[in-house]
Amino acid sequence: MGLFGGKKQVNLVGLDIGSSSVKAVELKKTKDGFELLSVGLEPLSPETVVDGAIIDALSVSAAIDRIYAGQKVKNKNVATSVSGHSVIIKKINLPMLEEDELYDQVYADAGQYIPFDIADVSLDYQVLEPSPAGDTQEVLLVAVKRDKINNYQSALIGRTLAMVDVDAFALQNTYETNYQPNPDETAALLNIGASVMNINIVRGGVPLFTRDVSVGGNQYTDALQKELELTFEDAENLKRGQALAGISDEQKAAVLRSVSEILVLEIQKTFDFFRATAGAAAIGHIYAAGGAARTPGLLDMLKEEFQMPVDELDPFRRVTYNPAKFSDEYVKEIAPRLAVCVGLGLRSFDEA
């Protein structure tokens, strides 16, 4: 689903502005899949993006410039994504209408589903599926506050915001392209970043339930800092597997485990809520992306807790790259952090 200016026939650079880094991906369609043309990841300092809002647009813009320069990217049309409180996602049931009438109906009804003034949001929608009886259709309604879009636009100096997506849907796009699920397969997709975890439970290509939770990699780093009296850098390095004098593996594992338990509980609550509201579909698989999916012990804990297969979501499962241009080691190292970004880059090839 391409939102807010989608169905573009132009090629788009996927640009994911996260709280810990900016990522960009440019793809090309090939005979049997996709190929990576450029990829970059530039870290951001902690106060640059806070609670999903770009505080320091110039720093973000400079990070984007560095990626463009480093990868010699020429394309100025970007697709980016948002999440959190400024995004409202609702499923509504509408009569089976023709395209024009449906548009009018969605806009006429939207106000009753959206807790913001309709004048302050950008709206988009997609038809999901007709009801079993065939007399109504389920429509996914998405509203994003214009403030939020303007905020993102402010960091794109000299570039065109050709499409605004939602993190959870970009993640889903990456999953669909790379895993080609059967229509009856239900999976939970997680994107566990530095400050936010996006959860999207999907059946085949249909989003059933989405939720953003304010937990992520920063919580692990914070806990290591506090419990073991470390600097931010030392805590980050320790978390990513570097040994640190005076800190035992057991000490580290205990702190990481206590934070993983908090994440697992949030996922559990989401699954419980999903089961209570969405009825039939049983979740059969968990795919985890985002940098914090690499936290030692987290995926094993999910496996143990939910008794189902848990895998890291590989955004390059069906996306090839030239090993002479991008080292295998580098791509594998950053892969989970690129899941949303690849989904955005893939929007270039959405069918109109």
* Minimum distance, C-beta of residue 24 to ligand ATP, in the bound complex (Å): 12
For position 196 contacting ligand ATP by CB under 6 A, the verdict is: yes
Structure tokens at 196: 């936010």
Specify the residue, 30 or 258, whose C-beta has the smaller distance to ligand ATP.
Answer: 258
Which two structure tokens, joined as six digits, stand for 154? 């402010």
Structure tokens at 261: 């338990």
- 181 near ligand ATP, rule: CB under 6 A: no
- Which of 51-75 are b and which e, b meaning 16 or more Cβ less than 10 Å from the residue's Cβ? ebebeebebbbbbbeebbeebebeb
- Please select the residue that binds ligand ATP; options are 14, 40, 216, 315, rule is CB under 6 A: 216
Which one among 11, 21, 172, 173 touches ligand ATP, defined by CB under 6 A?
Answer: 21
Structure tokens, 251: 């000490």
- Residue among 193 and 207 whose Cβ is closer to ligand ATP: 193
What CA–CA distance (Å, rounded) separates 63 from 42? 6
**216 is a site residue for Mg ion (CB under 5 A):** no
Q: How far is the CB of 54 from ligand ATP (least distance, A)?
A: 11
- Tell whether residue 18 is a contact of Mg ion (CB under 5 A): yes
User: How far apart are alpha carbons 167 and 148 in whole angstroms?
Assistant: 14
Choices 87-95, 96-104, 292-300, 301-309 (CB under 6 A): range interacting with ligand ATP: 292-300
For helices 249-278 and 217-228, angle between their N-to-C axes, nearest 10 degrees: 140
Selected binder of Mg ion within 2, 181, 193, 343 (CB under 5 A):
193
- CB within 8 Å of 213: residues ≥ 6 apart: 196, 197, 199, 266, 270
Contact between 107 and 123 (Cβ < 8 Å): yes
The binder of ligand ATP chosen from 193, 207, 315, 343 (CB under 6 A): 193
Q: Smallest distance from the beta carbon of 244 to Mg ion, in angstroms?
A: 26
Residues that bind Mg ion (CB under 5 A): 18, 193
Query: Which stretches of the chain bind ligand ATP, using CB under 6 A?
Result: 18-21, 193-196, 216-218, 221, 236, 239-240, 290-292, 294-295, 337
